[in-house]
Chain A
């Protein structure tokens, strides 16, 4: 990896011009995320974290300041170039999974490669999609449709889809928001293991116990960064999962 940071925000600001008032969603934020980091962006609703995520994900451009993604100045790019950048450098994982229904898991994972430039042969797409599914432990469910999968499995398909183009940055928007606690820990485990293998992960969440699986916490309020610190008492998904299982067993024993 080059010596520049994956994410570099310089005095980033975002203003939404409404019919009556201007909303300053983010005011002059500067932030650097190095390759291989695992960052949680936290904040209450209205704190500007969604705007941060949309900008980091190249879905939107800053109104002031600069955003460099992997060394590329995003602010100067047009719609098509932003699309290409999303395709090449970013993997999205959403709260609501956002899989295409009535399309198999495998085809969902193939989706980003369909828009890759230059294009790829179908056989290569299939191969890479299967490999990505294998990484999240779902290669045996490749032909299942989203409706035939559990929430956790659907989110894993979404992660496989995010990984398939080998992005520089994996962005997750409340990835555990729709999941129960043990499935949430499993998903965090996947993120942790991906991060261990060098993937840069940025996750937006409002849950503190989920943020504790990451390395670094960025807390936002009213469009500004309030705190930016390393996670001290970091949780490991494998351990937590074991603990949870034991607790559940204990409950079952008593009842």
Chain B
């Protein structure tokens, strides 16, 4: 019964009142485009966070020093300096299922090449660090375990740092002075992009952790460690082993809190994406409310339309239209309204999120699910809000309807 003719009748009825039709559709258009744009912004943010976390490496556990609370302020992680190189060695020795591991020591220092200098983050790590974080080399070679054991003065240079200090010339083999200590650059790192906290990971210099401790930071305190499990199934078990070992080594009683933090990658992902998840839900539901308001607009206008066309309904019934025929006629009309509004809304929503990503540089992600979802939802709105007016039309008494002026 829904065929070309019934749809033609519906579109003709809608064309009769072009302005009214457009205004009614506007509610749905705004609702659908808002849902699409909001969800795409939310999902884009989430995808970006997930990509950043994936850049940490695979099957990775992070172990960080605990917080220090100083004067009521909680300082960032790693400030307490509770992790030491001995802890790292103990983990490597005693924890089963570790594939690769690296300690991290960090210092901010001035580095200089010739008369160029800049402040950058010096990261002391093990030779496994690049493999751990799937960080490719663009030139030269990684430093070796030998370099770490001997605390050799070798360094890998990040892309941003290299660009600033060396411009177009090849940095590999050159000397860079860190706090006036000359290091030989043995490798050029590939681009890694932004970290979760928004800092440029390519503005860095990687050196063996032994060298960093000996020549830059002094002491054997670590900022954090990155530990890679042999298989993803081992992650939780590994986390437990590490916690137990560290509590034991730090002599922490059963009733006291840890002075370190152990997080699996999954936990970090969950934490980081929960914010953008909440944002997506919040934005999406605000947009959903406007879609609902649009639906009520459709119901309102369909009720007016049924009243206006009472006589037409009477005529149709007199020549043999069943209640169902009339019901379908008005239902199709309402659906045509909402689906047409939905399609326009999808176009505007996609265009809007493109605009946001190009003008504001926000990451957006338009998923086919959100488009299909918006389309189906607008059709459902048409059916839902069109049903009551359509049923009212279908239940009219033909004699009364024919007499209606």
Contact = CB atoms under 8 A, between A and B. Distances in A.
Contacts of A99: 315
Contacts of B311: 98
Most buried by A among B16, B322, B324: B322
Interface in A31-89: 54, 57, 59-60, 79-80, 83-84, 86-88
A8 interface: no
A102 B325 CA distance: 20
Interface string B218-245: 0000000000000000000000000000
Interface residues of A, number: 26
A87 B321 CA distance: 8
Given A54-B399, A115-B325, A161 B16 contact: no
A86 B399 CA distance: 13
A6 to B, nearest CB: 18
Contacts of A94: 402
Interface of A: 54, 57, 59-60, 79-80, 83-84, 86-88, 92, 94, 98-100, 102-103, 111-112, 114-116, 122, 161, 165
A184 to B, nearest CB: 22
Contact of B317 (A83, A88, A161): A83
Contacts of B322: 79-80, 83-84, 115
Contact of B320 (A98, A103, A115): A115
B325 A59 contact: no
25 contacts: A57-B318, A59-B318, A59-B398, A59-B402, A80-B322, A80-B323, A80-B324, A83-B320, A83-B321, A83-B323, A84-B320, A84-B322, A86-B318, A86-B319, A92-B318, A92-B319, A94-B402, A98-B311, A98-B315, A102-B12, A111-B316, A112-B320, A115-B322, A115-B325, A116-B320
A80 B315 CA distance: 15
Contacts of A80: 322-324
Nearest to B15: A102
Nearest to B401: A59
A115 B319 contact: yes
A161 B324 contact: no
Instruction: In the A-B complex, list the 10 residue pairs whose CB atoms are closest, starting with the nearest.
Output: A87-B320, A112-B319, A115-B320, A83-B322, A80-B322, A86-B320, A115-B321, A98-B315, A59-B398, A59-B399
B402 A98 contact: yes
B318 to A, nearest CB: 5
A79 B320 CA distance: 10
Nearest to B319: A112
A44 to B, nearest CB: 19
Contacts of A59: 318, 398-399, 402
A111 B399 contact: no
Interface in B309-333: 311-312, 314-325
Interface of B: 5, 12, 16, 311-312, 314-325, 398-399, 402
Contact of A88 (B5, B320, B323, B398): B320
A5 B275 CA distance: 80
Contacts of B12: 102-103
B401 to A, nearest CB: 10
A84 B318 CA distance: 10
B316 to A, nearest CB: 7
A94 to B, nearest CB: 7
B323 A79 contact: yes
A48 B314 CA distance: 21
Contacts of B320: 83-84, 86-88, 112, 115-116, 165
B15 to A, nearest CB: 10
B326 to A, nearest CB: 10
Contacts of B316: 111, 115
B377 to A, nearest CB: 31
Nearest to B324: A80
A59 B316 CA distance: 12
Most buried by B among A84, A98, A102: A98
B323 A102 contact: no
Nearest to B400: A59
Nearest to B4: A122
Contact of A122 (B5, B317, B318, B324): B5
Given A84-B322, A112-B320, A116-B320, A102 B402 contact: no
A79 B399 CA distance: 13
Contact of A114 (B5, B317, B323): B5
Contacts of A161: 319
B329 to A, nearest CB: 10
A94 B319 CA distance: 12
